[in-house]
Amino acid sequence: MRGGGQKAEREERLGRGSHVVCAAVRGRVAFDSNLDSTPPMLLLRQLRLARVAAPIARGPAGAKAFSASATPRINLALTPEQLELQQLARSFTEKEITPKAAYHDRTGEYPVEILKKAWEVGLLNTHVPAEYGGLGLGVLDCALISEEMAYGCSGIQTAAEANGLAEAPVILGASDALKKKYLGRMTEEPLMCAYCVTEPIAGSDVAGIATKAVKKGNSWVINGSKMWITNGGKANWYFVLAKTDASANAGKAFTGFIVDADSPGISVGKKEINMGQKCSDTRGITFEDVEVSDENRIGDVGKGFQLAMGAFDITRPLVAAAAVGLARRAYEEALKYSIERKTMGKPISEHQAIAFMLADMAIGVEASRGLVHKSAWMRDNGQRNTLYASMAKAMASEVANKNAADAVQIFGGNGFNSEYPVEKLMRDAKIFMIYEGTSQIQRLIISRTVIDQAKRG
């Protein structure tokens, strides 16, 4: 079996007596080698099993929910299992991500060891269904993880969640054989994958994609270039959206494929040096006469656009959750600093100008999280969440940018210095308003939806 030895080693490490265990200590989850308690992977499996017995909610059209974590009605309180999951992710972030974030920002080094440890404790590939070796967590469950990891470093979180984006169309539309082959391997080894849709001339305009796939016997030949591909140079395989009918409209012109990263004809571009999230591996990928078996086609020919867009209903709430994590970090750093920093004989937090900024920052975090949780809950319960996913993405990304800028302002001159954490937050925040659909695209989706709803009465 592929990666069998590594998988066995992982299971042993996550079993009883593992040197990486999850233990409740004074109400918090901690990693400790001497404590005998629930291993992280077992905890996550219990979270999934606790949901399996519950009936899977269905939307108005009878569509099956994305995950068995669906609940019959909304509840603003997290379940005990979700609280444990949140604490696990928080503890992992405190130990493994936050202390190393500045190093990875400074060097741009890809966080291989951190991602490997995240895989070992079950915080990577959390969408993968149980029948393919995964945990099958719901979107809300995954949002809790995304917020906590992004609190430590959104660049590291982006690298981790890029796996989820590439896996989403596979989960939604691939054959059982493809799922076993490509999702299964993600649970056997700490591998990465990538979502290849954006092109140099087609970002927000997905319909403008020029990459083509031409049928040749029982295979397809792919030619074209993709750009800004997260995990591009680290991926084991790519989800690729290509045009298969040049004369059709966007809804029928594209088809999705899984392409092995070591396929002949693939060229990986240089690592892009970005303003923020510097450790995220972002590259251009070129496909030159890359031959792919028809068995690697995802769903029907001409249904790729729907698959790619459907993936966003799952991943946009998670990107928004990561933005909430960054916004919360900026707020908490500013709050702590404002209490310690004194001017004119008192802490600056007692000056109304600063206090009101802190109030607005707190409001933004809570309101954004509310939209994230609603959009995630809707998806988990089989309801179409496109409108609320766009609302969550638009609001949370802008709150992240505002909170980061306000944190720099509250820190004053120190905020402009790399010895303090908030200047990194300000650089990292900007991409949230760009990737997975710009703020303008989100407003386009929102405005069209609400206008159409009003016209229908």
Which residues are known to be catalytic? 436
**CB of 56 within 8 A of CB of 64?**
yes
Measured between alpha carbons, how far is 209 from 38 in angstroms, rounded to an integer? 48
Burial of 402 (0-12, 13-18, 19+ CB in 10 A): middle
**DSSP structure string for 240-265:** EEEES-TTS-HHHHEEEEEEETT-TT
Q: Which residue in the block uniquely carries the two structure tokens 């989100």? A: 442
Structure tokens belonging to residue 201: 């001339």
- Give residues with Cβ within 8 angstroms of 452, minimum separation 6: none
Calpha distance 391→51 (Å, rounded): 27
Residues 261, 291: Cα–Cα separation, whole Å: 12
CB count, 10 Å around CB of 447? 11
Q: Are 233 and 208 in contact (CB under 8 A)?
A: no
Q: What is the DSSP track for 18-61?
A: -SSEEEEETTEEEEETT--S--HHHHHHHHHHHHHTSPPPB-TT
In sequence order, what are the residues at sequence separation of 6 or more whose Cβ sits closer than 8 angstroms to the Cβ of residue 224? 199, 209, 210, 211, 212, 242, 286, 287
Distance CA 240, CA 198 (A): 10
Q: What angle do CA 131, 136, 142 make, to 5 degrees?
A: 160
Q: Could you tell me which residues come within 8 angstroms of residue 51 by beta carbon, excluding any fewer than 6 positions away?
A: 67, 68, 69, 70, 71, 138
Residue 268 burial (10 A CB sphere; 0-12, 13-18, 19+): middle
Q: How far is CA 33 from the centre of its chain?
A: 29
141, 260, 366, 415, 438 from 433: Cα distances, Å: 23, 30, 19, 22, 5
